[in-house]
Chain A
Amino acid sequence: MICENCKQRPATITVTQMKNGKKTTRHFCEVCNKQLDSFHLNLDFNADPISMHKLFSNWFGTPSWSVSAPNVNEQKTQEQENCPECGMTYHQFLNEGKFNCPGCYETFKEQLPQVLKRLHNGAVEHVGKVPGSINELYQLKRQIEAIRLDMKVAIEEERFEDAAAMRDNVRSLEKKLQVGGESQDEH
C-alpha cells in the first residue's frame, strides 16, 4: 500500500479518524505521519504569532519537503509575486503563517492547496455553507460538477443513453449559469 499523503513511499502506519461520525482508516508512510502528527501536537489556535511563524517556516522550509514537491522551480518564480491588494509575497506568507487580505488567496491559489492539505488532513476544497448571495450560482456549478462525474461513470459502464441525457442536462445548466442563474426558478 502507498502512503495517502505523498503517494510515493510505502504506507507503514495506520491512522484511525472520525469522519461523518464513523471511524475511517488512513494509511501514511513514516515521514508523512511524523509531519502530520507533529503538527497536530503543536497546533494551538491561540498560540502566540512567533510559535506559529516558527512552525510554518520550519515545516515548509525543510529540505525533504521541497524535494518532494514536484514544482520546485515554478514555486520559486511564484514566490516573487506580490498580492496586488496588500503587497504580501508567498514567502512572507510562509514565514508569518497568516494572510494579509482576502486577495492573497487569489494571488497564491496555485501554491495554497499544498499548504491547506497539510493543515486540513488532505482537504483542499470547501464543502460547507455558502453565503446566500452567491448561493444560487455556486449550487449550479456544484450540480454541473456532480452530473459530469456521473456522466463519466455512465460512459465507463457503456450506458450511453444515460450519458447523453446527462450531457443535455449539463448543457442546459451551463446556459443558466451564463445568464446568472436567474432562470433556475422556472423549473
Chain B
Amino acid sequence: MNIEHFLHNPTTNWMQEEGQYGDIVMSTRIRLARNLTDFRFPRAFSDEEAMQIDKAVSNVLIDADDEEEQHFQFSYFSLHDMPALQRKVLVEKHLISPQLADKERVGSVLLSKDESISVMINEEDHIRIQCLQPGLQLEKAYESADQIDRLLEHHLPYAFDDTFGYLTSCPTNTGTGLRASIMMHLPALTMTNQIGSLISTMPRLGMVVRGMYGEGTESVGNYYQISNQITLGKSEKDILLDLQSVTEQIIQKETEARTALIEHASIALADRLNRSLGTLLYARILTSEEAANCLSNVRLGIYLGIIQNIPIAVLNECMLYMQPGFLQQHAGTTLQPNERDVYRASLLRERLQCNRELKKGHSDEEGEDSYDV
C-alpha cells in the first residue's frame, strides 16, 4: 500500500460507520505507550539505537501480516523521507501525532489498511500503539490495541517493572501507558453556557479536556476530547470504565440541553443552524474557524432533524477537507492563508451542493417507499 492510499482518501474507513452515540461522540481513541529494555528513550538515544528499534518493531508487525495472515495489512512509512505536506495530512487525519510529524532524523509509522491502527515508532516512546473507532467504542478500540500489544510483547523485550508497570519516557504515562480519549461534539452544552462548569469539573474526576483543533482547552467547532489523566494505580479496565461512565454522563447532559433548546428556542435554533448551512453553501471566503463552527451547527441540525438531505459522511469528509494540509494537497500546490480561505469556501460549497442534490432525489424516493408501507 503506498502513501497515496492514505493521503487521498478523505473519509477514513473507520469514520464511515457511525458507532454508538454517533450523534454526540465522534470517535474513540486508545493509545498504548511501550518501550524496549536496553535502549535509551528517543529523547536521549543515538541514531544507531533508533535504527535497531525501528527494524525490530516493524519486522514483527510486517512478519505477522505475512505469516499468520493477520488482517491488519500494515504499510510502513519513514517520516524522514516524507514531504512536510504529507506529514501534515496524516496529522489532520489523526493517523500520526504532531510530535512524530516534527521528528527530523528518526520516526516511522505502520498504518493498517483500514487506517484504524497506527503504530508509531520512536515518537516520545519507542512504541506508541494507536487505535481509532467511530463513536463510543472503548472496549473495541482497546481490544484492537491489546492485540497489537500482545503480538509485540511476544517477540520483543518490553521495559516493565513490577512496581511501576510499563516504563515510559514521561512519568505521566507510567503504569499502564494507556491513554483513552473520546472526541465529543457538544454544541448544545456550549450554546446553553454549561460547558465551562463541565470542563472545570473534569480534572476532579481524573479526566483531562482538550479542544479538537485549538490549542489547550480552547475549542473550535464545539469538539472536546476527554481523556483519562491517571495511568498508575488503576487497571486498564477501571480506566476505561471510569471514562465510559463520565462520557455517558456528558452524553446525557448534552442530550438534555439539545431537548431544552428545541423546546424553548426552536425557531431561533433553526434560524441559527440554517444560517450556518447558508454560509457553507454560498460563502466565497471561509476561515477555518468559521468553517468549523458552521459545520458544527449543520451537524447539530442534521441530528435534530432541522437540516435534511445532507449525509453525515459528507459532513465528516468536509471536516477533513477544510484543514490546511488537506486543502493544499487537494489544490496540488501551496496556498497562502487568504488563498486557503477562498479555496476552502469553494471546496466545501461544491461538496455540499452536489451531495445535497443527489441526496434530495434519493430521500424523496425513500419517502414514497415509506408511504407504501
Q: Which residues of A contact B (CB under 8 A)?
A: 15-21, 37, 40-41, 43-46, 52, 85-86, 88, 97-102, 105-106, 109, 112, 115-116, 119-134, 138, 141
Chain B residues near A15: list those with CB within 8 A.
204
A127 touches B234 (CB 8 A): yes
Give CA–CA (A15, B244) in the complex, Å.
20
Residues of A within 8 A of B242 (CB): 18-21
Residues from chain B with a CB closer than 8 A to the CB of A41 are 203
Give CA–CA (A129, B157) in the complex, Å: 15
Instruction: For B35, list chain A residues within 8 Å (CB).
Output: 102
Residues in A neighbouring B373, C-beta threshold 8 A: none
Find B41's partner among A43, A46, A98 (CB 8 Å cutoff).
Answer: A98
Bound-state CA distance A132–B233 (Å) is: 19
- B44: nearest residue on chain A (CB-CB)? A100
Known: A102-B37, A119-B230. 17 other contacts (CB 8 A): A43-B229, A45-B208, A86-B40, A99-B41, A105-B174, A116-B171, A120-B174, A120-B230, A124-B232, A125-B164, A128-B234, A128-B236, A129-B146, A130-B160, A131-B160, A132-B150, A133-B158
> Do B230 and A121 have beta carbons less than 8 Å apart?
yes
Which B residues touch A85, using CB under 8 A? Answer: 40
Asked whether, in the complex, the Cβ of B203 is within 8 Å of the Cβ of A128, the reply is no
Central interface residue in B43, B158, B164, by most chain A CB within 10 Å: B164
B161 touches A101 (CB 8 A): no
Compute how far the CA of A184 lies from the CA of B23 in the bound complex, rounded to whole angstroms. 50
Across the interface, which residues of B come within 8 angstroms of A133, CB to CB?
153-154, 157-158
**Which residues 205-247 of B sit at the A interface, judged by CB distance below 8 A?**
205-208, 210, 216, 227, 229-236, 238-239, 241-242, 244-246
Give chain A residues whose Cβ lies under 8 Å from the Cβ of B157. 133
Interchain residue pairs with CB less than 8 A apart (18): A16-B205, A18-B206, A19-B234, A19-B238, A43-B172, A43-B208, A43-B229, A44-B210, A99-B171, A100-B169, A105-B174, A116-B171, A119-B174, A119-B230, A120-B175, A121-B206, A124-B232, A129-B236
What's the nearest-Cβ distance from chain A to residue B94, in Å?
13
Q: A interface, by DSSP: helix, strand, loop or mixed?
A: loop
- Residues on the A chain within 8 Å of B337, using CB: none
Q: Are B164 and A105 in contact (CB under 8 A)?
A: yes
Find out whether the CB atom of B167 lies under 8 angstroms from the CB atom of A102: yes
Report the 9 A-B pairs with minimum CB-CB distance, sorted nearest first.
A123-B233, A126-B165, A40-B203, A102-B159, A100-B44, A120-B232, A101-B40, A128-B176, A128-B235
| Nearest B residue (CB) for A87 | B44
Q: How far is the CA of A18 from the CA of B169 in the complex (A)?
A: 27
Min CB–CB distance A23 → chain B (angstroms): 9
Residues of B within 8 A of A112 (CB): 164, 171
Q: Which residues of B contact A123 (CB under 8 A)?
A: 175, 230, 232-234
Do B176 and A115 touch (CB < 8 A)? no
Pick from B40, B206, B246 the residue with the most CB of A within 10 Å. Answer: B40
Cα(A121)–Cα(B246), bound, Å: 17
Contact of A119 with B171 in the complex, beta carbons under 8 Å: yes
Query: In the complex, what residues of B have CB within 8 A of residue A97's CB?
Result: 170-171
Q: Is B26 close to A, CB under 8 A?
A: no
Q: Decide if A131 touches B158 in the complex (CB within 8 Å).
A: yes
> Inside 8 A of A134's CB, which chain B residues have their CB?
160
Known: A46-B98, A97-B171, A124-B233. A20 touches B161 (CB 8 A): no
Q: A45-B208, A128-B235, A132-B153 are in contact. Are A101 and B44 (CB under 8 A)?
A: yes
In the complex, chain B residues whose CB is within 8 Å of the CB of A128:
165, 175-176, 178, 234-236, 239
B residues with a Cβ closer than 8 A to A are 35, 37, 39-41, 43-44, 97-99, 124, 146, 149-150, 153-154, 157-172, 174-176, 178-179, 203-208, 210, 216, 227, 229-236, 238-239, 241-242, 244-246
| A98 neighbours in B (Cβ, 8 Å) | 41, 43, 124, 169-171
* CB-contact partner of A99 in B169, B179, B207, under 8 A: B169
A17 close to B205 (CB less than 8 A): yes
In the bound complex, what is the Cα–Cα distance between A18 and B165 (angstroms)? 22
User: In the complex, what distance in Å separates the CA atom of A138 from the CA atom of B165?
Assistant: 11
Residues of A within 8 A of B124 (CB): 98
A60 to chain B, nearest CB (A): 12
The docked-state distance in angstroms from the alpha carbon of A157 to that of B207 is 40
> Does A125 contact B163, Cβ atoms closer than 8 Å?
yes
With a 10 A CB-CB cut-off, give which of A18, A43, A44, A123 has the most chain B CB atoms.
A18
Complex Cα spacing A118 to B227, Å:
18
Given contacts A98-B41, A102-B35, contact A141 B216 (CB under 8 A): no
Q: How far is B160's CA from A18's CA once the two chains are assembled, in angstroms?
A: 27
- Nearest neighbor of B239 in chain A, beta-carbon distance: A128
Q: Which residues of A are found within 8 Å of B174, using beta-carbon distances?
A: 105, 116, 119-120, 126
Q: Is the CB of A45 within 8 A of B179?
A: yes
Q: Which of A17, A19, A105 contacts B204 (CB 8 A)?
A: A17
Would you call A127 and B245 a contact (CB within 8 A)?
no
Nearest CB in chain B to that of A22: its residue: B245
B203, A37: Cβ atoms under 8 Å?
yes
